[in-house]
Amino acid sequence: MAELSRAVASLRVTGEDLIPDEVSSLLGAPPSMAYGRGDTIASKLGTVRVAKFGLWTYHAPETEPADVDAKAVELLGRLTPDIEVWRQLASRFNMSLFCGWFMERA
């Protein structure tokens, strides 16, 4: 039977006019990965593309055993608690909080 093994959580902010340094400044943390519209992005396989929109993403470290609640709290605890900043970002950009559980066979 499979068991929960580890958990991950990340915040993703996207938008056509997103400027990564601005989002970092507002949220009070550097991104795990970021780029602006028009930036050149190289994949791990060596292919290159031009970004059609800006992206700012922040990942909480993985944990074992899996505790997705702790991951979400840890991730959001590292960012600003200012609700007005969150409202401003949400009015300008698409935002999503990804939480994932990974399973292993016992």
Identify the pLDDT of residue 6.
Answer: 77
75 vs 27: which has the higher pLDDT: 27
* pLDDT over 90 (residue 23): yes
- Strand, helix or coil for residue 91: helix
Domain ranges, residue 70: 2-105
- Count of domains in the chain? 1
**pTM, to two decimals:** 0.84
pLDDT, one tens digit per residue, over 78-97 is 999 999 999 999 999 999 99
Task: Read off the pLDDT band of 64 (50, 70, 90).
Answer: low
DSSP assigned state of 73:
H
Identify the pLDDT of residue 101.
Answer: 78
Spell out the SS3 assignment of 23-58.
HHHHHCCCCCEEECCCCEEECCCCCEEECCCEEEEE
In single-letter form, the type of residue at position 74 comes to E
d(CA 14, CA 36): 9
